[in-house]
């Protein structure tokens, strides 16, 4: 029995990045031998075991064979005769197909170390085309490593295009698309995810609502970048800067402007009512990908309300309170900061405006705090009862916001 550290842990160690997961491959063993050593079996489709003390994953070396369409169309083979090189050959990218033995010696049959040095994401073998999830994974890895100078190898991008043209991507189940998208939005440069998918044609298949934004013009005085698709890329990157690792903020940033693709051509480059037009496509893509409920709800609210937030200083105190009520903020106060982060990313995600202050956020946070300071107890002490309490609280909240607004005049 020989045990090797494999995959991301080896890659990240050589990049000088902290490793999170430590996966291992076991060569020359059987399931019975693993169980005899105290490992706990957890794999359903192939033999994977948990270490009795560390809880880390140890998988028997295996090969795989394409048997049908999509992610589940594979048959796996694992026994003591499968070599480490056989196991590494089934992996997606060369930088993920390296291993280390117990003494820390590198095993690198497919040139992963070289591709790390030259900053290239390159497929291991032609079998890459057999798993459509790899299109999304390569795009996600680019979102992680683009800040380090990584690019996708031309031949790998060509294979990704082939997979799209052959319809393999059509067979991706919503859960896998969402899982990879969610991870990509939590990476440092989510725009690279969009760019990679667009370059191979997958964005049009998986996210037609986002693909439709490219080429749609905006008013240059507000959007120096002009192109709505480019603006979306800048917004998701700004969201990743303002809220690192937060895929909820990233998702809301990604879909906040979908209504601009529906603006009648004769109205361009203006986008009157795009926030209302955007609700239907935001809802559609959330339902199609089966995104979590809060992602779906907050993204719809961000779509509807982001222009109101931008105009915060122009709003009447009663309208500011209505904004909070539409958010259901008094029951879910975290939504205020979340909406403001998305709106700040929208405002600063524009060409040359990345360092622009966004005072609306501070003002609305103060306004919400002022509204939250109004309590029912003093009103009850005045003899107010029943439904009149809610009406009185609303009046007092509007008055508190108006008092604050006067200090910002």
Q: Give me the pLDDT at residue 364, please.
A: 98
Q: Is domain 1-111 classified as CATH 3.30.460.10?
A: yes
List, in order, residues 6 or more apart from 61 with CB less than 8 Å away: 25, 26, 27, 78, 82, 83, 84, 86, 87
Q: Any idea what DSSP says for residue 177?
A: H
Q: 3-class secondary structure for 357-401? A: CCHHHHHHHHHHHHHHCCCCHHHHHCCCCCHHHHHHHHHHHHHHH
Q: Give me the pLDDT at residue 69, please.
A: 55
Q: Give me the pLDDT at residue 68, please.
A: 53
Below-70 pLDDT ranges, the chain: 45, 65-76
Q: Give me the pLDDT at residue 71, please.
A: 52
CATH topology of domain 208-357: Hypothetical protein af1432 (1.10.3210)
CATH topology of domain 132-206: Hydrophobic Seed Protein (1.10.110)
Q: Give me the pLDDT at residue 15, please.
A: 94
The ranges assigned to domains in the chain are: 1-111, 132-206, 208-357, 372-409
Q: Give me the pLDDT at residue 1, please.
A: 84
Give the pTM: 0.91
Rounded to 10 degrees, the C-alpha dihedral 95/98/102/103 comes to -70
Q: Give me the pLDDT at residue 45, please.
A: 67
Q: Give me the pLDDT at residue 76, please.
A: 65
Domains 1-111 and 132-206 share a fold: no
Q: Give me the pLDDT at residue 75, please.
A: 58
Tens-place pLDDT, residues 289-343: 999 999 999 999 999 999 999 999 999 999 999 999 999 999 999 999 999 999 9
Q: Give me the pLDDT at residue 81, please.
A: 80
Q: Give me the pLDDT at residue 10, please.
A: 95
């Amino acid at each position: 029995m020989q045990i090797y550290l494999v995959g991301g842990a080896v890659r990240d160690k050589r990049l000088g990045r902290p490793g999170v997961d430590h996966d291992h491959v076991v060569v020359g063993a059987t399931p019975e031998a693993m169980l005899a050593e105290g490992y706990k079996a957890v794999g359903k489709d192939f033999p994977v075991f948990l270490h009795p003390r560390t809880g880390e994953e140890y998988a028997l070396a295996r090969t795989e064979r394409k048997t049908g369409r999509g992610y589940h169309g594979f048959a796996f083979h694992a026994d003591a005769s499968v070599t480490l090189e056989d196991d590494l050959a089934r992996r997606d990218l060369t930088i993920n197909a390296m291993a280390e033995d117990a003494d820390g010696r590198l095993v690198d049959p497919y040139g992963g170390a070289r591709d790390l040095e030259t900053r290239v994401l390159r497929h291991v073998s032609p079998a890459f085309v057999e798993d459509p999830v790899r299109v999304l994974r390569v795009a996600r890895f680019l979102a992680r490593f683009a800040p380090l100078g990584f690019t996708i190898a031309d031949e790998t991008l060509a294979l990704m295009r082939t997979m799209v043209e052959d319809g393999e991507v059509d067979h991706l189940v919503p859960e896998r698309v969402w899982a990879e998208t969610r991870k990509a939005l939590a990476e440092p440069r989510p725009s690279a995810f969009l760019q990679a998918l667009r370059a191979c044609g997958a964005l049009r298949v998986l996210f037609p609502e986002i693909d439709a934004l490219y080429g749609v013009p905006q008013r240059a005085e507000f959007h120096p970048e002009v192109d709505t698709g480019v603006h979306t890329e800048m917004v998701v990157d700004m969201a990743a800067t303002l809220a690192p690792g937060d895929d909820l903020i990233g998702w809301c940033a990604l879909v906040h402007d979908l209504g601009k693709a529906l603006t009648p051509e004769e109205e361009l480059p203006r986008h009157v009512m795009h926030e209302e037009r955007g609700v239907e496509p935001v809802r559609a893509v959330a339902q199609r990908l089966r995104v979590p409920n809060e992602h779906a709800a907050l993204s719809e609210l961000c779509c509807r309300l982001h222009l109101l937030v931008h105009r915060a200083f122009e709003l009447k105190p009663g309208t500011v309170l209505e904004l909070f009520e539409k958010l259901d903020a008094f029951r879910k106060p975290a939504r205020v900061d979340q909406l403001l982060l998305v709106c700040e990313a929208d405002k600063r995600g524009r060409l040359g405006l990345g360092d622009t202050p966004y005072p609306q956020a501070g003002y609305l946070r103060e306004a919400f705090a002022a509204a939250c300071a109004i309590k029912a107890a003093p009103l009850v002490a005045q003899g107010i009862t029943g439904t009149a309490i809610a009406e009185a609280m609303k009046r007092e909240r509007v008055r508190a916001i108006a008092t604050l607004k006067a200090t910002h005049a």
